[in-house]
Amino acid sequence: MRKPATALLAVPGLALAGTLGYPLLLVLGTARHGMAVLGSAAFLAALEHTVGIALAATAGSMALALVFALVLAFAPFRASRTLGRFADTMIALPSFLTVLALTFAYGSAGVVNGALAAWFGHGGPRLDFLYSAWGVILAEITIYMPFVMRPLLAAFEAIDRAQIEIATGLGGGAWVILRRVVLPAAVPALLAGGSLCLLLTLNEFGVVLFIGAKGVITLPLLVYDKAIQEFDYPAACAMAAVNIALALALFAAYRALLTRLMPDAVH
């Protein structure tokens, strides 16, 4: 049985190696000719922006997702199912639609700034945060928070309600039940959703480009500039290699943390 199985895997394996493996090796091979760019101020600033935005967006997504999932799972109200389905729908929407909606609401010519100008005059207060790193973080939290909330809701649905009833019967308060019953079940889902969110925000390109935040250049955007606008492919490949290494390192850190906290969850 092993030989037929190996033969069946050979064709897709060769196709994957040709379509993904060879181009990746080509990028890594070209990167060695552009290593000098890794000491430039532009690269270091882009690296700082990339990591800082990704960590902030991931932390915000995890915190909001945990709060929303707790409310939807354990304090249901009339519209809770609708909100849960809306979160699922957000996962399917393209990211630029969310950014467009935020620009329409909070941009310089958006609804909020238009209302402020009508109330206080054009010399009054204005919201300018959208075209900064904070605007990018807000957009990424809005886009990727459902990716963390969905596994959390699934984890909460799997909790045996009898455990909560027993803990309540023994005099356990809401905080005790949350700490002893709910949060232990949430840890694997929170780590899984958070790691996915971190990897997605680390490699995010469209949000930063669409918002056009002044002075906010991330690694994917700098790679695009070097490759498409400056035709400096060795430098672009060198920075892309760093981005790949950073993503793999963060994923390895997630696996190590998951192994330490939940050894039975890692096989």
Under the banding of pLDDT at 50, 70 and 90, the label for residue 104 is confident
Give the residue among 147, 157, 140 at the shortest CA–CA distance from 80: 157
* Residue 214 dihedral angles phi and psi, to the nearest 5°: -65, 125
Residue with the larger pLDDT of the pair 5 and 141: 141
Asked, for residue 3, whether it belongs to a domain, the answer is: no
Share of the chain above pLDDT 90, in %: 25
What is the CA 96 to chain-centroid distance, rounded? 15
Q: Does 265 have pLDDT greater than 60?
A: no
Determine contact, residues 217/239, Cβ cutoff 8 Å.
Answer: no
> 176 lies in which domain range?
14-265
**Residue 135 burial by Cβ neighbours in a 10 Å radius (0-12, 13-18, 19+):** buried
Under the banding of pLDDT at 50, 70 and 90, the label for residue 117 is confident
pLDDT tens digits for range 199-213: 899 988 888 888 887
The overall average pLDDT reported for the chain is 82
**Residue 58 burial by Cβ neighbours in a 10 Å radius (0-12, 13-18, 19+):** buried
Q: Does 33 have pLDDT greater than 90?
A: no
Give CA–CA dist 207/214, Å, rounded. Answer: 13
User: What is the per-residue pLDDT for 185?
Assistant: 79
What is the CA 39 to chain-centroid distance, rounded? 27
* Averaged pLDDT for residues 36-42: 91
Q: Does 2 have pLDDT greater than 60?
A: no
Asked, for residue 240, whether it belongs to a domain, the answer is: yes
User: What is the per-residue pLDDT for 108?
Assistant: 80
Cβ atoms < 10 Å from Cβ of 25: 11
Asked, for residue 94, whether it belongs to a domain, the answer is: yes
Q: What is the DSSP letter of 72?
A: H
Under the banding of pLDDT at 50, 70 and 90, the label for residue 31 is confident
Asked, for residue 45, whether it belongs to a domain, the answer is: yes
Determine contact, residues 67/73, Cβ cutoff 8 Å.
Answer: no
Length, in residues, of the chain: 267
CA angle, corner 209, sides to 205 and 213, nearest 5?
120
- Going through the chain in order, the beta strands assigned E by DSSP cover none
- The CATH code of the domain that includes 106 is 1.10.3720.10
Share of the chain above pLDDT 70, in %: 81
Under the banding of pLDDT at 50, 70 and 90, the label for residue 53 is very high
Under the banding of pLDDT at 50, 70 and 90, the label for residue 1 is very low
Tokens representing residue 174 in the block: 């809401």
Asked, for residue 106, whether it belongs to a domain, the answer is: yes
Cβ atoms < 10 Å from Cβ of 131: 19
Asked, for residue 8, whether it belongs to a domain, the answer is: no
Cβ atoms < 10 Å from Cβ of 216: 22
Alpha carbons within 13 angstroms on the beta-carbon side of residue 145 total 22
* Averaged pLDDT for residues 5-31: 72
Asked, for residue 165, whether it belongs to a domain, the answer is: yes
Residue with the larger pLDDT of the pair 247 and 85: 247
Instruction: Name all contacts of 39-46 with Cβ < 8 Å and 24+ positions apart.
Output: 42/217, 42/222, 43/222, 43/239, 43/242, 45/217, 46/217, 46/218, 46/219, 46/221, 46/222, 46/239
By mean pLDDT, which of 71-85, 157-171, 237-251 is the weakest? 157-171
Domains in the chain, number = 1
Asked, for residue 204, whether it belongs to a domain, the answer is: yes
